Structure 1
Amino acid sequence: MASKQLSLVVRPRGKPIKNLPEETALTSSSPASDLYAQLASQSKSSVDRLRITKGSDGSLIPNSKTVTIADTGLRDRSAISVKDLGPQIAWRTVFLVEYLGPILIHPFIYALRSYLYPNPAKPFSFPPPSQLQTLTMYLVLTHFVKRELETLFLHKFSSSTMPLFNIFKNSTHYWLLAGLNIAVFAYAPRASIASDTLSSHPAITYTGLALFTVGELLNLQTHITLSALRPASDPTVRGIPNGIGFGLVTCPNYMYELLAWTGVCLVSRSWASVLFTVVAGAQMGVWAKKKEKRYRSEFGDKYKRKRFSMIPGVW
């Protein structure tokens, strides 16, 4: 199809955007990313702050190099709505900051437990951490160091940024629930495992260790599969994932993460670990259902619909 020059009617959505033009022009064969770049330049704004939707049905126009203006359904004199998303921060930065919390907090409380917990009768005379308390710390650190490495070297983000406020919301979840909450109770001198060795209730301990190891390895494999679907040249491109677990649920990465955290719960025997696992699981369940809906909408009959999005037979 021959490329045509198009004139698009531009309307702000929400608060006014300074210098946003009332019209903009480009060819039908231009990538959608050119529309974002053009409007960002004209409004003297950052591309990452703009969200562009079709005026006809409100559907998102992706900031993609592989989707053309013609592919979006826009025609000459079509209207588009432009929204200012506000101050942004890189997704990668948010992930690195939020996962750093437990990595710092757990060793800190573990190392200084004699100074952080009151013992009026014999100040600073607590026995050293038990083997299970030490193992708990290593499991938590392994999980979040893995997350950091995946963020740096594996994950590809369809959007380069997210709203700045999210760094505080996300960090609260990880720094408080996974960091302070678990560490304070798991390493307490009076914790249920404070005097336990690896041979104390070995069936529970080694089952937990096995679940953690299997969960983390399968979670990594799933992340590798998902990353391979996105070309480095255009991470907005999506594909239908296949591999271990994808035939059972929409998001096996969430299923395997819950498996790993179930292992942490068994090793730590702490209600604080259970609390974090339940809260994290509920949030991942919401994300998984949204992803199933998105797959159905985006891929249509090409996608084999899943009845369960995160846990077979349950969720």
Structure 2
Amino acid sequence: MVSVTISSTKPTSLAKGLPAILDFSGKSADVVTVADVKRAFTAKYPNFYPSRQKLSLKGESKSLPDEATLSSIGLSDGGELAVKDLGPQISWTTVFVIEYLGPLVVHPLMYHVPKLFYGQDVQHSSLQKYVYGMVMAHFLKREYESVFVHRYSHGTMPFAYVFRNSFHYHILGGVTLAYAVYSPTYSAASSYILDTIRDNPMFLKACAAVWLWAEVSNLKTHLILRDLRPAGTKKRAVPYGYGFNMITCPNYFFEIIGWFIVCAMTGSYAAWVFLIAGSYMMAIWAIKKHKNYKKEFGKDYPKRYKMIPFVF
């Protein structure tokens, strides 16, 4: 039998009367895991569900992995763990669905009801029609991937983060981008469009072809990553194949190409801001993923660029 004392890093209304002692009858520290402790703590304090808990060793701040046993983290009978309330949680799938829903609502509104936003009707140019179709297809694809393709190592995140994470898509990729590209500046009668390359059917079709290749390639890399992790597991493996033989994060590379095409087609400041902001964040994630792969797989991880071939 092993018992664990749970104290709190700060007072919480979800678990009054801490510290509490949890007993695991008939089990040793070699068998009881951090996940077992979380479940036992929830049984005692039902509103403090496991995904809301961060458990760490007393006096330390590092979160303990759910699969670790008590003995592996140096805890024996009577040892103490500290719990931190992470706040209300929301699934990663729901987070992404909310994020990508913003542009799917904003773009149709500004495209189909321009008088509401610009004070006048807009005769849409071929360029606007192409961009509208590409943006809608992109975010519908994102929604599909969020629900049916992606598998997450962490099941939830703090609900408060939804507002922060949604800013990029709802404001930059939604309101700002839509307001710029569906405006009269890009209309069929605009001097910015008439008799320019932006009104050239061959140019628009060529851009759309490259964009479509980038989108399909991005989906293919996501499917490769999905197949590396069986459903319900946190298994990690070195990805190989389409794009991965040269780049750690080819999905980011193809994402950048897709949005670069929109920038090249429109020349819009809003499109460039969205691309630059997104590329910056993806670069941070790519560096982190590259470092984690090298740390986890060591010499078994092949030499690759992080995000952009021959550059970064």
TM-score, normalisation: structure 2? 0.85
Q: Is 1:76 aligned to residue 79 of structure 2?
A: no
**Residue 176 (structure 1) aligns with:** 171
Amino acid paired to 1:314: V
Aligned CA RMSD, in angstroms, stands at: 2.7
**Residue 231 (structure 1) aligns with:** 230
Give matches, 1:1-315, under 5 Å: 5-16=1-12, 17-26=15-24, 27=28, 28-44=30-46, 45-55=48-58, 59-63=62-66, 67-69=67-69, 72-77=72-77, 79-118=80-119, 124=120, 126-191=121-186, 194=190, 195=193, 200-201=199-200, 204-234=203-233, 236-304=234-302, 306=304, 308-315=305-312
| SS of 1:292 mapped into structure 2 | helix
Give how far 1:251 is off.
1.3
Bigger shift: residues 155-164 or 191-200: 191-200
Long gaps (5+) in structure 1: 119-123
Amino acid paired to 1:96: V
| Separation of aligned partners in 2, 1:71 and 1:200 | 68
Q: Is the 8 A contact 1:40 1:50 kept in 2?
A: no
| Separation of aligned partners in 2, 1:285 and 1:145 | 24
| Separation of aligned partners in 2, 1:108 and 1:60 | 44
Pick closer, same or farther for the CA change 1:127–1:43 going to 2, 3 Å.
closer
User: For this pair of structures, how many residues does the alignment match?
Assistant: 300
| Separation of aligned partners in 2, 1:258 and 1:161 | 27
| Separation of aligned partners in 1, 2:297 and 2:80 | 26
Q: Is the 8 A contact 1:29 1:68 kept in 2?
A: no
TM-score, normalisation: structure 1? 0.84
Q: Is the 8 A contact 2:122 2:183 kept in 1?
A: no
| Separation of aligned partners in 2, 1:181 and 1:238 | 38
| Separation of aligned partners in 2, 1:71 and 1:291 | 29
| Separation of aligned partners in 1, 2:226 and 2:71 | 25
Pick closer, same or farther for the CA change 1:170–1:108 going to 2, 3 Å.
same
Over the matched positions of the two proteins, sequence identity in percent amounts to 33
